[in-house]
A and B are shown apart, each in its own frame.
Chain A
Amino acid sequence: MNERQPAGSDFLRWGKRLLWANMIFSFLFLYLPIVILVAFSFNDSKLGARWVGFTTQWYVSMAQSEAILTAMENSLIVALASTIIATILGTMTAMAMERFRFPFQRTYDGILYLPVIIPDIVMAISLLAFFSLLLGGVNNLLGLEGNAALRPGLVTVIIAHVAFNISFVAIVVRTSLGELDPGLEEAAQDLGANEWTTFRRVTLPLIMPGILGGALLAFTLSLDDFVITFFTTGPGGTTLPIEVFGRIRRAISPEINAISTAMLLVSMILVIVSQLVQRRTAALSSNSVQETQ
């Protein structure tokens, strides 16, 4: 298993060297920019990219900036709300797709994949057009004007994030439902459990790692989203990526490096948690196989 390739000639040795070189180049390419970004968040210089000295002042000014703290809070609200809604709806959808047969199921399956494939900018502008028409219509109908008028903001952003996250959650949960031994559910029902009890006591615990995995993916996608948020948000609905984008367009400043580093840290934590969840899934499924044998 260790050496899967047959031993051989000069040609092979050179091939291996090239593979090594390409691997080192690839990881430098992927990681060097991130390392540089993090390193310079500690650089004691307002301008330019020359190393002057170590400082943590950019983190201090980040933590004291009202705009950034508000944006962080908004990002968390959006990510939490959209993850909870999308995880519930996505899991229900996955159950329907895996455990039922119904007309136009294949068509619906295709539609479910659309938000995953479609470029986000296309979804963003269609939602902009839709919310503008909808809110305009409601405002007209109820005669809302000025400050009372409904505007896009955090609520429209949450709705938009749920719209793309349902698909991601459904896909992930379907995978774990598909891997589940249907014999377990049948056995529970043979022993007299009704559908709800079977779901709650057998299915749900077994697919929980899949649901958690889907929820983590949804949370990350929501936290990271810029394009769809940018086109569906409004006054008071600035999330962290929107705030960062605005700052990047204005000027390069070490403060952006500090915010970026904080965002990278959150991402890293999420990856590690998702890996742990996956390990647990693997452990659980091997356990359930042993138990059934």
Chain B
Amino acid sequence: MTQRRKALLAFLLGPGAGWLLLFFLLPGALVIVYSILTRKDGGGVEWIVDFSSYVKLFSPTDGAVINDFMVIFARSLWWAALTSFVCLLIGYPLAYFIALQPAHVRSTYLFLVLIPFWTNFLVRTYAWKFILNNNGLLNTLLQDWGFERIAIINTPTAVLIGLVYGSLPFMVLPLYASIEKLDFDLVEAAQDLGANYLSVFRRIILPLTAPGIGAGIVLVFIPVTGQYIVPTILGGGKVAMLGNLLAQQFGPALNWPFGSAISVIFMVLLMAAVVFYLRSENRDGEAGL
């Protein structure tokens, strides 16, 4: 590379890389450092090395094998898995349906999936609160029609509805992308050779659209584990997820080192999940060849 090219590269790369280094990587590294420092009253840290945050995170509480923090970890991962599964269950047939439509109709359906994707997440979650609230639309209707009111707001059900609602477009778009590429001649060929619909789906369609399923699950699972808006608005903080726990430690509890330790373990878990996903992607790719 000539001097001139080098200077040009530095000019193009420098500002963006500098910004990310200063305002993304450095703050991330700071959290790792904070996780082994001492708590300071009123927020912040004392610069004294102390591993007690990790001890607190992993030590069992009296009478229980796992402590409350681990319960929240487990709940976040479990709900993220459940949300991914429900989104897949609704999203796969939806994406399949769209892919089967004639080209000019397809773009309209896709547009309809895209709109919620672009609309404000807070507002869409609030819409569910308006419906599910104790004096909300659902209970008003139930009462008017002579049924019992139901207490659904601030329950896991309400949170899960909100999570699925917010995540569905993220599942449908990658699924559609991979189903749309599917060669339907293969499906026909298998049928001509006498395969029934179930085995065509299981042996042809499902393996060929597996990359879309994988991408959809990653796009739903990761953001859901860190959700803050949905469990706060539809769960009322009564069924906390990791996002609430983090906000609590950096907010009212003012225990920054402990919040940092939670964040570090959370990141380690997510990295492990992403590495696992990339590995299985590669394996599938090789098997496909």
Beta-carbon contact of A18 and B102 below 8 Å? no
Query: Which B residues touch A31, using CB under 8 A?
Result: 112, 116
Q: Does B247 contact A (CB under 8 A)?
A: yes
Query: Which A residues touch B28, using CB under 8 A?
Result: 126
Closest approach, in angstroms, between the C-beta of A243 and any C-beta of chain B? Answer: 11
Query: Which A residues touch B232, using CB under 8 A?
Result: 249
**Taking chain A's interface residues, is the majority helix, strand, or loop, or is none over half, making it mixed?**
helix
Closest approach, in angstroms, between the C-beta of A151 and any C-beta of chain B? Answer: 14
What bracket does the count of chain A residues touching chain B fall in?
35 or more
Beta-carbon contact of B226 and A120 below 8 Å? yes
Cβ 8 A contact of B114, one of A25, A89, A271: A271
**Taking chain B's interface residues, is the majority helix, strand, or loop, or is none over half, making it mixed?**
helix
Given the known interface contacts A33-B127, A47-B135, A130-B23, the answer about A122 and B233 at a Cβ–Cβ threshold of 8 Å is: no
Query: Which B residues touch A227, using CB under 8 A?
Result: 228-229, 243
| Minimum CB distance partner of B15 in chain A | A89
Distance, CA A261 to CA B147, complexed state (A):
30
Beta-carbon contact of B137 and A119 below 8 Å? no
Q: Does A44 contact B (CB under 8 A)?
A: no
Q: Does A248 contact B (CB under 8 A)?
A: yes
Query: Which A residues touch B20, using CB under 8 A?
Result: 111-112, 115, 163, 166-167
Contact with A along B122-156 (1 / 0, CB 8 A): 11101111110101110010001000000000000
Q: Does B65 contact A (CB under 8 A)?
A: no
Closest approach, in angstroms, between the C-beta of A109 and any C-beta of chain B? Answer: 12
Beta-carbon contact of B115 and A271 below 8 Å? yes
Q: Which residues between 58 and 117 of chain B lie within 8 Å of chain A, taking CB atoms?
A: 90-91, 93-94, 96-98, 100, 102-103, 109, 111-116
Distance, CA A37 to CA B120, complexed state (A):
13
Contact with B along A156-174 (1 / 0, CB 8 A): 0001101110110010000
Query: Which B residues touch A149, using CB under 8 A?
Result: none
Query: Which A residues touch B115, using CB under 8 A?
Result: 267-268, 271
Beta-carbon contact of A29 and B118 below 8 Å? no
Given the known interface contacts A30-B165, A48-B135, A267-B118, the answer about A125 and B246 at a Cβ–Cβ threshold of 8 Å is: yes
Beta-carbon contact of A90 and B16 below 8 Å? yes
Query: Which A residues touch B124, using CB under 8 A?
Result: 33-34
Q: Does A22 contact B (CB under 8 A)?
A: yes
Distance, CA A48 to CA B184, complexed state (A):
51
Beta-carbon contact of B229 and A226 below 8 Å? yes
Q: Does A6 contact B (CB under 8 A)?
A: yes
Total number of B residues with any Cβ neighbor in A under 8 Å: 88
Q: Does A1 contact B (CB under 8 A)?
A: yes
Query: Which A residues touch B184, using CB under 8 A?
Result: 4-5
Q: Does B48 contact A (CB under 8 A)?
A: no
Q: Does B222 contact A (CB under 8 A)?
A: yes
Q: Does B284 contact A (CB under 8 A)?
A: no
Beta-carbon contact of A170 and B226 below 8 Å? no
Closest approach, in angstroms, between the C-beta of A43 and any C-beta of chain B? Answer: 10
Query: Which A residues touch B137, using CB under 8 A?
Result: 36, 40, 49
Query: Which B residues touch A6, using CB under 8 A?
Result: 187-188, 191
Query: Which B residues touch A117, using CB under 8 A?
Result: 222, 274
Beta-carbon contact of B119 and A34 below 8 Å? yes
Contact with B along A8-37 (1 / 0, CB 8 A): 000110010011101101110111011011
Q: Does B49 contact A (CB under 8 A)?
A: no
| Minimum CB distance partner of B113 in chain A | A30
Closest approach, in angstroms, between the C-beta of B127 and any C-beta of chain A? Answer: 4
Query: Which B residues touch A114, using CB under 8 A?
Result: 24
Query: Which A residues touch B94, using CB under 8 A?
Result: 22-23, 26
Q: Does A95 contact B (CB under 8 A)?
A: yes
Q: Which residues between 128 and 161 of chain A lie within 8 Å of chain B, taking CB atoms?
A: 128-130, 132-133, 136, 159-160
Given the known interface contacts A22-B97, A25-B90, A126-B27, the answer about A89 and B140 at a Cβ–Cβ threshold of 8 Å is: no
Beta-carbon contact of B13 and A92 below 8 Å? yes
Cβ 8 A contact of B24, one of A34, A123, A128, A223: A123
Q: Does A81 contact B (CB under 8 A)?
A: no
Closest approach, in angstroms, between the C-beta of A41 and any C-beta of chain B? Answer: 10
Q: Does A244 contact B (CB under 8 A)?
A: yes
Given the known interface contacts A19-B93, A89-B15, the answer about A37 and B246 at a Cβ–Cβ threshold of 8 Å is: no
Q: Does A198 contact B (CB under 8 A)?
A: no
Q: Which residues between 227 and 275 of chain A lie within 8 Å of chain B, taking CB atoms?
A: 227, 231, 241, 244-245, 248-249, 252, 256-257, 260, 263-264, 267-268, 270-271, 274-275
Contact with B along A203-215 (1 / 0, CB 8 A): 0000000000000
Query: Which A residues touch B276, using CB under 8 A?
Result: none
Beta-carbon contact of A115 and B133 below 8 Å? no
In the assembled complex, 29 residue pairs joining A and B whose CB atoms fall closer than 8 Å, in A order, are A5-B187, A6-B188, A12-B197, A15-B197, A23-B98, A26-B90, A29-B168, A30-B169, A36-B137, A37-B127, A90-B16, A92-B16, A96-B12, A115-B20, A121-B227, A125-B247, A126-B28, A128-B250, A136-B44, A166-B20, A224-B119, A224-B120, A241-B120, A244-B122, A244-B123, A252-B133, A263-B120, A264-B120, A271-B115
List 16 extra interface pairs beyond A5-B187, A121-B226, A122-B267, CB under 8 A: A23-B97, A30-B112, A30-B168, A31-B112, A93-B13, A100-B13, A118-B267, A120-B223, A125-B259, A130-B30, A133-B30, A226-B121, A231-B247, A249-B233, A271-B114, A275-B114
CB-based closest 8 A-B pairs? A119-B226, A130-B27, A33-B127, A126-B27, A93-B16, A96-B12, A49-B137, A89-B16
